[in-house]
Structure 1
Amino acid sequence: MEQAGKESGKGGRRALWAAVAIVAIVAASAIGGKIVLERKVNELVAARGGTAASVDVDLLGRMHLRDVTLPLTNRVNIRVTAIDGRPKIFFLGGMLEVSGLSVESSTGKISVPHASVKDANLDPGVLAELVSRKSSASLSKRIEGLAVKHVSAPEVTVSQAIAGSEQKTVYRNVALADIANGRVARYSADGASFEFAMEIPDGLGDTKQERMTGSIGAMAGQDFDAAYMARLYTEKAGPQDKEAKPLYGPLSVKAIAFSNSQTRFAYDEMRSNGFSMRMPAEPLFELLEKLSSVSNPEELAPEERRAFFARLLSLADVVGKGDMEMLGLKIDVPDKNAETEGERIKLAIDRMAVRLDGRTFDAALNGLSMGEGGDYVKFSEASITGFSWDSTLKALQEMAALDEQQLETFPFTTLLPEFGTFRVAGIDVDLPNPETGTDNAGAEGYAETDDPDALAEEGLVPDTEQADGADQQTNEPAAAVLERIRFTLKNYELALTKPYNGIPTNVRVSYEDLSVPLPADAQDEALAELRKLGFEELVLSSNIQAAWDEPNQALVIEDISVSGKDVGSLSLSGLMGGFTKDFFSGDPAMTQVALFGLTARNVKLKLKDWGGMAKGLKFYAGQNGMTEDQARGMFTMMAAAMLQQFAVDQPKLKGAVDAASRFIAKPGTFSLTVRSKAENGIGAFDLVAASKNPLLLLDKIELEATAQ
């Protein structure tokens, strides 16, 4: 037992000495690690050309840096009042607490009073790779190597001063989550406030400074590629960079409002599904710096000027795909033209949307309403689709490579873009007539005026100006002019597509259901006559559509038509030959010569009655004390007699005359087709001769007429 006790005592002493040795080793390692880590941090700061007032690492590996400055490229400097953190050690993720962070450049400043970085892979190797100037890795690769679970800042202030405009924005509770491989999976802010000042025209030929203040609600976004952003600004495109790549994903910003002393703007929300960009031929930092260094391109030498415009045009190809929607826009501005103070113009738009796809552009606007009191303009939709500046950019690139002599023969029509299709729907207008005023109102809906010149310009009264210039006195009462402009329009479209040398070869202009009310007390003679015919409103539609058939060198007139509700419609279609590319040369002389090569191949005329003839007969019968049947019978008999006499004189017209007689007797649809007997059509000189005597064409055409 005594021996066992001695052995036990020796074992306890050995365990005690082992524990002391371990503590000593750990303490020595901690002290050694502290010294090594402090030296490493100092080296990293110094390697970037920066300074730190103090660098301290405690025994637990936590770093404490004070008053740190780090100069970056492109005249950007970082200053930090305090950095307290821990690098990644074993299973413990790195963390940082940053105070008094500011990033300053020549155009602005970012200030962050406090920020927290949690669960970051900030081991010494990653830190060295991030900030070392000697690293061979690009900035984008360094960013890809950083992984952080969460970054938060209670406040971030962004200040900018560009081209005389100052702007300051303060974001609240900014957060970034799941940063890895150079991408931020999610980012958000609870809101922001901002103010900006800018020089705007004052309407008197000078400018004045306006200061606006505003606020922003919740902001949230996904999939921001910070590494790709770094590539865009610091690297040039490589062989693999032919396609645009996503820069950020879905984004939403709510409750945007700003105002000054007189004007208020507000959006319910701005949102986007994302945006992609294409790598530039040279880094954006370098490209923008070279562009901004040129104040007057015209003063550059020819080669330098061409290089300048080539760089400027290359910016357009950086754009990939993207979209933006703005919902619930409201604008409230004072009416500077109002006769009394305090009157305001209010504008509301339900939705505005823009979509970019390389060099093409689509935009839409829905639910616009603008008004003041009882005056308003409304429409349900306005859009443009298929607009493309591809041809414009190509032409500009060609121009940039030409000298002054070559520019003299350059086809400037090629600078025109492809306009695409413009559409407006659901228009409703009720406004004062600018030719009148409320002070001279007479009968309801009208205003009296004594200015005969103004009335003559409007076509409301004959021009009373005499040839000898003498004044003419009259005792007739002043004429009446519509006091208000009222109309609705269901739909309007303008399509200018498929350009050749910049000139559209496919054209469509149409409007549908243009409705103009006819006042019951109409004093204008034409409006009064329409009321007598039974019209309470005039509803008109029209369409013009034509396209160039390049392989057959023909102009296809698909439709030229006009129609009126409860009246009828008249439409024309046809085919013209000899329509060569000279019409799209942009040279007026060549166009005039090409006109003489046109030939008419066929024309189709269609007339439809939708009640117009019945209204006319009813009005005629009332004016002449007849019944409608009597008026119809008399008119049918007279028209038939005249047409049959015409057919006797011109037997080739008998088929057309018979069809016209049937249409008059029982209105419905009348169709007349005229075809050239010659395969190439009827020439311009024949058409000129026929303008004085159309019967000269009877031997050169075939007629086909129907009445249904």
Structure 2
Amino acid sequence: MMSMNVTTGGRLPALAAACLLSVALPASSVLAKEKVKTGDAAPAALEMEYAVSIPAIDAIDSNLDNTQLTDILSGKIAENAEALSGLDATSIAVPEITISIASQSGDKAHDATITLADLLLEDVVDGQAASISLGGVTLQADDTDFAFGAMSAANFDIAGVLGIYGLVDAGGQTGLETIYTDLVAEGGTLTAPEVTCKFGGVTGAEFKARPLKTSFAEMMAIGQAMEDQGDEVDPATMGQFLKIYADILTAFQTSEITFEGFDCDGVDEEGRPMTFSIAGMTMGGMSPGVYPSISMDGMNIAVQTDGAIALDNLTIKPMDLTATIATLENAPDSVDDAWFEQNARTLIPAMEGLSFTGLDIDIPDPDSDGARIQAKVGAFDISLASYLNGIPTDLDVSATQVQAAIPEGTGDESLEQLRALGITDVDASFRLAAAWDEASQTVAIEEVSLSGVDLASIVLAGTLANATDDLFAVDMDASMAASLAVAVQSLDLTVTDQGLSDIILAVVAAEQGADPATLRPVFAGLAQGTVIVMMAGAADAAKLGEAINSFVAGKAKILTIGIEAKTEPGLGMMDFMQAEEDPATLLGKVNISAEAK
């Protein structure tokens, strides 16, 4: 057994610590007694001084001596990488590591102390620990206190971490290998003058990684160069950075990670009591080239006497980074602003979309004193798929149970019309779903719909023809030309009366002192006659007029109208431009069907 009582000084640049500690547990390799200046362009440069204190180290059967262990725990990882990768020990226990940080910015001085308690590595063989744990972490900074409970993991591959960053020879490893398993971190607390929070725990089954293609020293050099160059990064440096970034995106893999959420109480900028909480979060498993889904449950924000926002669930769906990675890997050695402009579309990841349920909003209207925005959304979903040049060619957007009060005095004509009908609240749903088919060069409009509970629903479906690949071209001129060439092949409109006509007729009848039942056939006849006149004797006029008469008269609740172009590819831009002057010109170019039931 070895026991030590030391205060050490050493140097490990911030980038090195960030890289290593992103996969290491716990974060014991911290900068030691060092002065750093950042932000030369800022009004006042920031100076920080670090000091690490390790009162004792108790090591049993360790093949590294006291000095080496102390240096490693004080931050000298790179200098001792080879020795650390071959570490053997029955156990290494460090009761306490204290990092003291003093910072100065202009005339403002700040002090912080981080304390790591009960660091323990057990059964370490050739750089791999059967288990690693930390009893807790506390942070005291000015008037803010953090405290986190125990953390632990199994099968912690110290040599594997060092191999990721090229600090030791990885033995030709190119595939993903386990870095640690069974991560468990207890929750903690935050206490500050204006807020107190309780944090839940974090768990994860496994983390895998492979060695990066760029060495640790090279990454540090590139990071430092980018920092020194500020806002005007040299194209050659940017080219190197993009290659590293592309490599990192395929170097890691995780299992699902869960977070038990947090609950905060505090005051807002105006001193009003407020609460903010999230019941829990889950991040799906990350795999090379795919960023995982993130699901958040039970979000609540409330400000006393002001308003509240609640959300049952928010899910950000996975993103496929394959196209992004390919663009980054094929980037030239020198990358300037022009390259980013030319490749902006191909850098866009293929995001699958997002969804949420149970949104409830009650907040002040920022545009109208005394008014409030009150709304609920039962469910909302955006699903995106089949990306081409950064654009999803398969789209599905929907929302259900969109409930809101219709405010007074907005000046909006449609809202004023609804209020005139006595409709002060709505419960609506909508959907937009369309997909491009490359083989047929068509866009299938599966559904464009809008519906209101106890009012009406409108559903439009159809097919757009002549939708070529250029519709999604990176070249904007080509894309615009392709969009102008798209033609309407067919459209089907379905209208369902769920009570709106009764409301309208009741209002009109009241104004005229008449019976709604008496007015229905009158309006039905007027609608039928208007359609027949507008269609100027077209063959389909009589059938369409009869269907509309039946619908308006209340004999049928569903009206379906179909329009199909007589010639290929369909109705184009020129056809619609001519129809602006004379709508009747379209009648000879389409077949119209109608049915009321």
Which TM-score applies when normalising by structure 1?
Answer: 0.68
Counterpart residue number, 2:76: none
Distance apart, 1:627 and its partner CA: 3.3
Find the aligned partners of 1:315 and 1:484 in 2 and give their Cα distance. 47
Which position in structure 2 is the counterpart of 1:155? 96
Q: What displacement does 1:609 show?
A: 1.4
The runs of 5 or more residues in structure 2 that have no matched partner are: 15-28, 37-49, 73-78
Residue 612 in 1 paired to residue 492 in 2? no
What are the within-5 Å matches in structure 2 for residues 172-571 of structure 1? 172-196=117-141, 212-235=144-167, 241-294=173-226, 295-296=228-229, 303=236, 306-321=239-254, 323-336=256-269, 338=270, 342-355=271-284, 356-361=286-291, 362-374=293-305, 375-401=307-333, 407=339, 410-437=342-369, 447=370, 483-517=371-405, 530=418, 533=421, 535=423, 537-571=425-459
- Distance of 2:168 and 2:121 partners within structure 1: 28
Matched residue type, 2:558: T
AA at the equivalent of 1:419: M
Count of matched residue positions in the alignment of Structure 1 and Structure 2: 550
Look up the SS of the partner of 2:440 in the other structure: coil
* Cα distance, 1:215 vs structure 2: 0.8
Instruction: Check whether the contact 1:171–1:189 (CA below 8 A) recurs between aligned residues.
Output: yes
Match of 1:692 among 572, 581, 585: 581
Counterpart Cα distance in 1 of 2:482 and 2:170: 49
Between the aligned partners of 1:382 and 1:689, the Cα distance in structure 2 is 47
Partner of 1:636: 524
Offset at residue 532 of structure 1 (A): 6.8
SS of match in other structure, 1:414? coil
Letter in 2 for 1:614: D
Partner of 1:683: 572
Secondary structure of 2:249's aligned partner: helix
Contact between 1:497 and 1:507, CA under 8 Å: does it hold in 2?
Answer: yes
Match of 1:702 in 2: 591
Q: Per-residue deviation at 1:701?
A: 2.0
The answer on whether the counterparts of 2:8 and 2:32 sit within 8 Å (CA) in structure 1 is no
- Residue 627 (1) aligns with residue 515 (2): yes
Distance 1:288 1:650, change over 3 A: same
Do 1:647 and 1:657's aligned partners in 2 also have CA atoms closer than 8 Å? Answer: no
- 1:232–1:111 Cα change, 3 Å: farther
Matched residues, percent identical? 21
Distance 2:111 2:439 in 1: 57
1:116 to 38, 52, 58: 58
Q: How far did residue 248 of structure 1 move?
A: 1.8
CA contact under 8 A between 2:236 and 2:334: conserved in structure 1? no
Q: Given the superposition, is the C-alpha separation of residues 370 and 664 from structure 1 closer, same or farther in structure 2, using an over 3 Å criterion?
A: same
Shift of the alpha carbon at 1:488?
0.8
Q: TM-score, normalised by structure 2?
A: 0.79
Alpha-carbon distance in structure 1 between the residues aligned to 2:189 and 2:4: 40
Distance 2:13 2:416 in 1: 75
CA offsets, 1:163-202, max 9 Å, x none?
Answer: 9998642122333333335332333333221135xxxxxx
Distance (whole Å) between structure 1 residues aligned to residue 30 and residue 418 of structure 2: 74
Query: Which whole-Å CA distance do the structure 2 matches of 1:161 and 1:281 have between them?
Result: 36
- Give yes or no for contact 1:298–1:305 (8 Å, CA) kept in 2: no
Q: Match of 2:559, as an amino acid? A: F
Structure 2 CA distance for partners of 1:617 and 1:154, relative to 1, 3 Å: same
Q: Indicate the larger mover: 360-369 or 107-116.
A: 107-116
8 Å contact kept, 1:236–1:283: no
Q: CA deviation at 1:611?
A: 1.6
Q: Using the TM superposition, give the Cα deviation of residue 280 of structure 1 relative to its aligned residue in structure 2, in angstroms.
A: 0.5
Deviation at 1:142, TM superposition (A): 6.0
Cα distance change of structure 1 residues 66 and 588 upon mapping to structure 2, 3 Å threshold = closer
Following superposition, the deviation at residue 368 of structure 1 comes to: 0.9
**Aligned residue for 2:47?**
none
Deviations along 1:645-676, whole A, 9 cap, x unmatched?
A: 66782233233223222322323222122122
For 1:304 and 1:694, the matched residues in 2 are separated by 60
Distance 1:102 1:539 in 2: 56
CA distance in 2, matches of 1:63, 1:596: 79
1:391 counterpart SS class? helix
Instruction: Indicate if the aligned counterparts of 1:140 and 1:182 stay in contact, CA closer than 8 A.
Output: no
TM-fit CA distance, 1:140: 7.8
Residues 643 and 661, structure 1, Cα contact 8 Å, conserved in 2 = no
Higher relative contact order (CA 8 A, sep 6+): 2
- Residues 640/595 of structure 1: CA separation in 2 closer, same or farther (3 Å cut): closer
Deviation for aligned residue 1:516: 1.1
**Counterpart Cα distance in 1 of 2:153 and 2:170:** 29
Equivalent residue for 1:670? Answer: 559
1:223 aligned partner, one-letter code: N
The 1:577/1:241 distance shift into structure 2, 3 A limit, reads farther
Question: Matched residues in 2 for 1:541 and 1:403: separation?
Answer: 46
- The verdict on how the C-alpha distance between 1:431 and 1:317 changes in structure 2, with shifts beyond 3 A counting, is same
Question: Post-superposition shift, 1:286?
Answer: 4.1
| Paired residues of 1:332 and 1:347 also in contact (CA < 8 A) | yes
Q: Cα RMSD (Å) of the superposition?
A: 4.1
- Label 1:264 to 1:389 Cα distance change in 2 as closer, same or farther (>3 A): farther
Q: What is the deviation of 1:427?
A: 0.9
Aligned-residue offset at 1:376: 0.6
Q: Which moved more, 1:258-267 or 1:304-313?
A: 304-313
1:600 is displaced (CA, Å) by 1.6
Q: Distance in 1 between matches of 2:337 and 2:9?
A: 53
| Separation in structure 2 between the aligned mates of residue 255 and residue 625 of structure 1, nearest angstrom | 70
Q: Deviations over 1:365-400 (max 9, x none)?
A: 211111111411111111211224443343344444
Larger Rg: 1
Offset of residue 298 of structure 1: 7.9
Residues 608, 160 of structure 1: CA spacing in aligned structure 2 closer, same or farther, 3 A cutoff?
Answer: farther
Secondary structure in 1 matching 2:342: coil
Q: Which residue of 1 aligns with 2:538?
A: 650
Aligned mates of 1:286, 1:661 — CA distance in 2: 78
* Structure 1 gap segments, 5+ residues each: 1-61, 76-100, 132-137, 197-209, 438-446, 448-482
Asked if 1 retains the 8 angstrom alpha-carbon contact of 2:3 and 2:59, the reply is no
Kept in 1: contact 2:295–2:316 (CA 8 A): yes
Distance 1:642 1:676 in 2: 23
Between the aligned partners of 1:308 and 1:162, the Cα distance in structure 2 is 30
State how far apart, in whole Å, the 2-side matches of 1:63 and 1:269 are: 34
Give the C-alpha shift of residue 569 in structure 1.
0.9
